[in-house]
Amino acid sequence: MKPSMKLKIKRAFTNNIGLKILACIFAVGLWLVVVNVDNPNQTRTFSAPVTVINEEVLTEAGRYYTIPDGNNMVKFRVTARRSVIEQLSNSDFTATADMNFLENDSRIPVTVTVNGAYSNVTISSKKLYLQVVVGDEMMMKHEVVVETQGNPEEGCVIQSATAEPNNVTLAGPQEILSQVAKVVAYADVTNISQDLEMESVVLHFLDSNGNEVDRSRIKVDQDVAKITIKVARQKQVDVNVTTSGSLPEGLYLDSVTVNPSRITIMGDAKALNEITAINIPGSVIDLSQIQSSTTTTVDLNSYLPEGVKVAAGESSQAEITIKVSGDTTHTFEVPVANITVRNLETGLEATFDEEKVTVQIKGSKEDLSALDAKTITGYIDASGLGEGEHTLQLNLELADAYQASPATVKITIK
């Protein structure tokens, strides 16, 4: 390049240098103004759920925390360019509360950060806290209850349903564990006809109303169980009872009843086929030892062979009721037409002074109720008697079950 050309270029840049610098400054300023007018800073409110970290600080010390009303949301203000803030949503922020910084067992400072590569985003410096309630952790042991759902195949019955383990230990906040009334494992037995094993059945924590208890804050040593279902056949049979011995004198047997008189039993099919009834032997009811009406209880399972027992859901206890009654006395008006006069001398005639004779007869209530005065017969002995009025002993002709009190009859002989 020629020297004159260089000189011209140099003069072009250096002439009025002050004005040119001022023009550049003005251009930059104008650009900044335009940018701030078209894309100004804006502030908006966002919210995010708080995640608690380092919870083991409490749990390892045998303590727990809860969030009142489950409210773990925090609100905060964010400032950024309009072009940036319009792209932001609640999901772009993460809020954490570090249990290491727990204050007064009541609150944890919350740190909010923005996710992603957003620049020039300012989060309000206002201190945020997560309110918590801190307390001592408690433990309790519960039996695992197996509840069956559905019905097995017809003719089958669930003999037993067991869980392994049969109990579990729960740990957690007292106000939550106190709601747990029972721990249940559900087993579907619909149409099953043989033994069944179910692995890894989830345990359910229920309150006293049968509703599920929130288990998010509950720790359990084992949250699944192995369920074993035993299935047996069943049938209905009569319950019979016999007696031995005789009642003491003066007592009469009114009835012997057993309740239930029919019951369902279960067990191996072959063993069931050989049973037609449950027979309670006479040695159980010895009438010679009975003094009054009485009731005794027996266990029906003791009269069943091994491998067979009373079906689940029915009581194996049976009540045997023995009703007895003692002698009682009834009064009967016996027509004199039923009374025979024996050994009256030839040529004499006897007439009764009354149409009926009053007699008292003793016996059981049942026997006396079957006795009719019109069918009672008897006789008097007129041996050696002559004319005149006579009072004679009445002899009634009764079965051995009856005893008649002494009675007399007045007659006139002509």
Please list the pLDDT of the chain residue by residue as tens digits (414 residues).
Answer: 555 666 666 665 566 676 667 767 766 665 555 445 567 889 999 999 999 999 888 878 878 888 888 789 999 999 999 989 999 999 999 999 999 999 998 999 999 999 987 778 899 888 999 999 888 778 889 999 999 999 998 888 888 899 999 999 998 888 788 899 999 999 999 999 888 999 999 999 999 999 999 888 788 989 899 999 988 888 899 999 999 999 888 788 889 999 999 999 998 888 888 899 999 999 999 999 988 889 999 999 999 998 899 987 889 999 999 998 877 889 999 999 999 999 999 899 999 999 999 999 988 778 888 899 999 999 999 998 999 999 999 999 998 888 899 999 999 999
Two structure tokens written together for 189? 């037995």
Two structure tokens written together for 239? 């319950």
Please give the Cα distance from 55 to 66 (Å, whole number): 11
Q: Is residue 239 within 8 Å of residue 263, measured between CB atoms?
A: yes
Please give the Cα distance from 310 to 300 (Å, whole number): 7
pLDDT at 10: 61
Two structure tokens written together for 103? 């204050």
Two structure tokens written together for 332? 């009967």
Biggest alpha carbon–alpha carbon distance for the chain: 203
pLDDT at 374: 92
Strand positions, DSSP E, 165-207: 167-173, 182-188, 196-202, 204-206
Quick one: which of 165, 111, 125, 119 has its CA closest to 142?
A: 165
- Residue found by looking up tokens 């970290």 in the block: 53
pLDDT digit string (tens) for 149-202?
A: 999 988 888 888 999 999 999 988 887 888 999 999 999 999 998 889 999 999
Burial class (CB in 10 A: 0-12, 13-18, 19+), 364: buried
How do strand 41-53 and strand 93-98 relate by DSSP bridges? parallel
Contacts of 325 (CB under 8 A, 6+ apart): 251, 252, 254, 293, 364, 365, 366
Please give the Cα distance from 408 to 360 (Å, whole number): 12
Contacts of 167 (CB under 8 A, 6+ apart): 141, 142, 143, 144
3-class SS shares of the chain: helix, strand, coil, % to 5: 20, 50, 30
Sheet (strand 350-352) strand order: 350-352, 408-413, 388-393
pLDDT at 35: 47
Task: Give the CA count within 13 Å in the CB-facing half-sphere of 363.
Answer: 18
Please give the Cα distance from 129 to 78 (Å, whole number): 17
How do strand 167-173 and strand 107-114 relate by DSSP bridges? unpaired
